[in-house]
Amino acid sequence: MSLYQLFKGKGPSGFGYGSTADEVTAGLSLKGKTVLVTGCNSGLGFEAMRVLTRRGATVLGTARTLEKARAACSAVDGQAVPLACELSDPASVRACVDAVTAGGHRLDALIGNAGIMALPKLEQAHGIELQFFTNHIGHFILVTGLLDRLADDGRVVMLSSAAHSMAPREGIRFDDLAGARGYTAWGHYGQSKLANLLFAKELARRFAGTRRTANAVHPGVIRTNLGRHMPGVASFLFGLVGPLVLKSVPQGAATEVYAAVHPDVATTSGAYFADCNVARPRADADDPALARRLWEVSEAIVARLPAR
């Protein structure tokens, strides 16, 4: 238990900062349910897959390569189907959509969990800053491509972060998605996580009047491979104080799993969860015009990408 956990109680959901993915699914049978989890080979994605399969769900576990997905899926006890999905490569994402479709899978939930953080130098994919492309555009292609496969009461859960508050003051820099002007590691990570949040909001708006839901989550702060780009000294300090102040991986995976399968939130849509409870994001994350514009710009970016 971290020190911080001692001061954080449970919220109205009955769960809180210290709850684990095992705890938020205790007593649930997910037999017959299918959940797709991106980034299944590491950190929170692997733990989410482990717990969901343990409760009886079939998990379609995606990783950047089939090899990584296979290794992860074979490391859990339950039913896990490995799929390749390299989010910075539209051809790979589309092939993943095709594989899910060809497999005849009906998705009860889709967890957009994969992500990269704080790249020290500007990198791009298809002319777009790489964190925005990987974290948002790759998932945009995947999720919109799989809407036909989503159950009538299916749920989409996008991994955002409290770091969405580090996005530029104007929200999304639509006039510089290449990141060419004033690149900063955290500002651009924050922008990509604000995009994940706005995408869930706009999806929820589009799902209105149906039983489908879309939500975003902040998982907490957890020491995972996500910190691989952090400078050595920061990583050292993180390692030193981490056990005292950070969530464990089982605690970190709790919120995404809760949002994806817990019956209490089956009809909650357009929300931002933290510590397994509805939380408040920064003000412009609730701006429907910004969310709509992001959707339209994302569609335009995707339309310009090579078809295959």
Closest approach, Cβ 285 to ligand NAP, in A, equals: 14
- Looking at the Cβ atoms of 5 and 134, the one nearer to ligand NAP is 134
Q: Is 43 left (phi over 0), alpha (psi -120 to 50) or beta?
A: left
- Looking at the Cβ atoms of 154 and 250, the one nearer to ligand NAP is 250
Closest approach, Cβ 111 to ligand NAP, in A, equals: 9
Distance CA 267, CA 156 (A): 12
Distance CA 114, CA 87 (A): 8
> Under the criterion CB under 6 A, does residue 30 sit at the interface with ligand NAP?
no
Stretch that binds ligand NAP, among 39-47, 140-148, 198-206, 263-271 (CB under 6 A): 39-47
Candidates 39, 82, 190, 250: give the one binding ligand NAP (CB under 6 A).
39
> Under the criterion CB under 6 A, does residue 68 sit at the interface with ligand NAP?
yes
Candidates 86, 202, 275, 284: give the one binding ligand NAP (CB under 6 A).
86
Stretch that binds ligand NAP, among 74-82, 115-123, 178-186, 267-275 (CB under 6 A): 115-123
Candidates 116, 200, 260, 271: give the one binding ligand NAP (CB under 6 A).
116
Tell me the three state secondary structure of residue 31.
coil
Determine how many CB atoms are found less than 10 A away from the CB of residue 298: 23
> Under the criterion CB under 6 A, does residue 251 sit at the interface with ligand NAP?
no
> Under the criterion CB under 6 A, does residue 59 sit at the interface with ligand NAP?
no
| Active site residues per annotation | 183
Closest approach, Cβ 222 to ligand NAP, in A, equals: 4
- Looking at the Cβ atoms of 67 and 296, the one nearer to ligand NAP is 67
Dihedral, 195, 8, 265, 109 alpha carbons, nearest 10: 50
Contact between 89 and 142 (Cβ < 8 Å): no
Burial of 268 from C-beta contacts in 10 A (0-12 / 13-18 / 19+): middle
Candidates 128, 177, 222, 305: give the one binding ligand NAP (CB under 6 A).
222
DSSP string, 270-299: S-EEETTEEE---GGGG-HHHHHHHHHHHH
Whether the CA torsion 34, 37, 42, 46 is positive or negative: it is negative
Whether the CA torsion 90, 95, 101, 107 is positive or negative: it is negative
Under rule CB under 6 A, which residues in 161-180 are in contact with ligand NAP? 161
Whether the CA torsion 127, 129, 132, 133 is positive or negative: it is positive
Candidates 113, 191, 213, 215: give the one binding ligand NAP (CB under 6 A).
113
Candidates 30, 35, 37, 44: give the one binding ligand NAP (CB under 6 A).
44
DSSP secondary structure code for residue 120 in this structure: S
Closest approach, Cβ 289 to ligand NAP, in A, equals: 25
Instruction: List, in sequence order, every residue forming a beta bridge with 150; answer none if it has no partner.
Output: 107
> Under the criterion CB under 6 A, does residue 87 sit at the interface with ligand NAP?
yes
> Under the criterion CB under 6 A, does residue 88 sit at the interface with ligand NAP?
yes
Q: Which residues bind ligand NAP (CB under 6 A)?
A: 39, 41-45, 63-64, 68, 85-88, 113-117, 134, 159, 161, 218-219, 221-222, 224-226
